[in-house]
Chains A and B, each alone.
Chain A
Amino acid sequence: MRRGRDLAVALLTLLLGRIVRPRESRGRIVPDAPGNTSAELVALAFLALASFAAVGFIVAYAVGGNTQYLGLSLGLSLVFVAAALIVTARKLVVAEELEEDYPPEEHVVEQERVEQIVEEAGDGLTRRRLFKLGLLGTGGALGLALLTPVLSLGPFFTTKYYLGTPWRRGRRLVDENGKPWHADAIERDDFYTAFPEGANPEELGSPLVLVRLPPGDLRLPAQLRGYDAGGIVAYSKICTHAGCAISMYRAPLFQPAEPRPALVCPCHYSTFDPATGGTVIFGPAGRPLPMLPIEVDARGFLRAKGNFDGPVGPSWWGVRMWRPNP
């Protein structure tokens, strides 16, 4: 803690403080230069513009992330930084041709001379501290701009869209035409898409994939016991890897000569086992498919018994900490 504070103070001193070094009474190496105030102002203006553009990037990201505006603002910011550096190099830093070669080996005196050259080269700047502040500001704004996209790695502020699904206890499962699914219509070795009755089918949490397995083949983990309706299991149709629709079903005609039944995502071949609660058995997906508890009502139609056991859709940081709203 203490060390951290010391470090911060040291850093600030280094950046802003005037380090007064006793200069030996040796003659100047770099010729003395009169300050060029107008060029300084131009460089500072460029730095300010670069900061504005970097802030513009953050704003563009916050308002919706139009990629054209993002690219434009970041590009402009970098162009302005480059312009400021060019102005500084050409007009402000005192330049002199170096006639002798650099010392072949480390030499204390030579090193000191080089240090002195670097030190004196900046003597053309009349507003050193302001310059440092400008650089610091631009660097900070640019750094922030570059860090902003980290927010895309997960929903940090609003998780409603990912956790609120239209599934409620008692809601019927219907097909794409709104016709309710009867349990008898679900046959083995075929797979079906279902939606919540009377809800928006376009919502991330809406589509389901339904399959029927022999009840004896189910190996559901303890917390998913009773999620199936007599062997019919319902999972979110949205892959937990990149959010594609699970549109393939591996339905072996004859076991054990052929591999186990599996739900497969066509995008990157994430393969999920419907018998064990949607666990990943192949591919890049990092967590099981969310499972929806279902039951058969008195008339034989399929109904939801609650919400999914986990968040629907592609994964993000900390996705396992959340559970959908009931």
Chain B
Amino acid sequence: MQRRLILLALFVVVATGAAPVTTGKHLYGRYCAQCHDAANAPALRGVGALAADFYLTTGYMPLPHLGVQPRRGRTLEAAQIRALVAYVASLGTGPSIPNPHPERGNLARGMQLFTDHCSGCHQVLAEGGYVTGAVPPPLGADTPTQIAEAVRIGPNVMPKFTARAISSAQLDSIIRYVLYARHPDDRGGWGIGHIGPVPEGLVTWFIAVAVLIGVCLGVGRRLRA
């Protein structure tokens, strides 16, 4: 019994960070090597902690099977992710995990930049959309760090944005806008899914028409009486 406990403790120590790079290497062999060491996925030398952190914390990786667009899903455990990120970062020099400060951004500027650079695919309230050959995801579940990472990587068919295209200060503003867009200020009450003025007008019509019919019925009844 005691020996078992000692073994378990040892295992826990090994697994949670005594040597994350070594653990990461094991995990890499288990989850990643099958594709990333072969030619059917990009090589990870030099992608840095940034890319590894993005793909693992969103659950885009490990991919259940090849040939599909990565979707948000179940992630590995936090300790496993830490170990894998450390291992991938150790493969070559690459960008580190960014540390955005959305609270320093300017909301109005963020909206302007978002409509310039992002809304073509992700829609103006970051609810996702469709493009030829891929599905731009909604940004409702992304953390500020993940948004900053995605902008720099350009996952799947998204373009990557260099610091010349979007500076880190601009990125703070964009992230602030994305966070705001989750609970936008819906003037006039219901947002109705934020699908635009035409369906909203249609809903208004349904309500107005129902009220009008009600009034007509009431007037007609009184006249008949």
Q: Which of B24-32, B148-156, B190-198 contacts A (4 or more CB under 8 A)?
A: B148-156
Query: In the docked arrangement, what's the CA distance between A157 and B154, Å?
Result: 46
Q: Of residues 44 to 83 in B, which have CB atoms within 8 Å of A's CB atoms?
A: 66-67
Q: Flag A230-258 by CB within 8 Å of B: 1 or 0 each.
A: 00000000000000000111111110011
| Interface residue tally for chain A (C-beta within 8 Å) | 24
Q: Tell whether, in the assembled complex, residue A247 and residue B120 are in contact, meaning their CB atoms are under 8 Å apart.
A: yes
B132 at the A interface (CB under 8 A): yes
Given the complex of chains A and B, what is the CA–CA distance between A258 and B165 in angstroms? 24
Knowing A189-B159, A190-B160, the reply to whether A250 touches B40 (Cβ < 8 A) is no
- Judged by DSSP, the binding face of B is loop
Bitwise interface map of A from 243 to 278 toward B, beta carbon under 8 Å scored 1, else 0: 000011111111001110010101001010000000
A253–B131 touching, CB < 8 Å: no
B-contact bits for A165-202, CB 8 A (1 contact / 0 none): 00000000000000000000101011110000000000
From B40, B121, B161, contact of A248 by CB (8 A): B121
Convert B150-182 into 0s and 1s, putting 1 for each residue whose CB lies closer than 8 angstroms to a CB of A: 000111111111101100000000000000000
Judged by a CB distance under 8 angstroms, whether A282 is at the interface is yes
- Nearest Cβ on chain A to B41's Cβ, whole angstroms: 7
* A251 partner residues in chain B, CB cutoff 8 A: 154, 157-160
B154 near A189 with CB under 8 A, answer yes
The answer to whether residues A189 and B160 also contact, given A248-B121, A254-B41 and a CB cut-off of 8 A, is yes
A57 to chain B, nearest CB (A): 31
Residue of B nearest to A283 (CB): B132
- B42 interface residue (CB < 8 Å to A): yes
Nearest to A270 among chain B residues (CB) is B132
Report whether A250 and B131 are in contact in the complex, using a CB–CB cutoff of 8 Å. Answer: yes
What number of A-B contacts does a CB cutoff of 8 Å give?
65
A249 surroundings in chain B (CB, below 8 A) = 159
A269 lies within 8 A of B131 (CB) = yes
Q: A189-B160, A190-B165 are in contact. Are A282 and B132 (CB under 8 A)?
A: yes
Most buried by B among A189, A248, A258, A269: A248
What's the nearest-Cβ distance from chain A to residue B197, in Å? 17
CB of B154 within 8 A of CB of A257, answer no
Contact A254 B42 (CB under 8 A): yes
Question: Is A264 a contact partner of B162 (Cβ separation < 8 A)?
Answer: no
Cα distance A146–B7 in the bound complex, in angstroms: 91
Q: Please list the residues of chain B having a beta carbon within 8 angstroms of any beta carbon in chain A.
A: 40-42, 66-67, 116, 120-121, 131-134, 153-162, 164-165
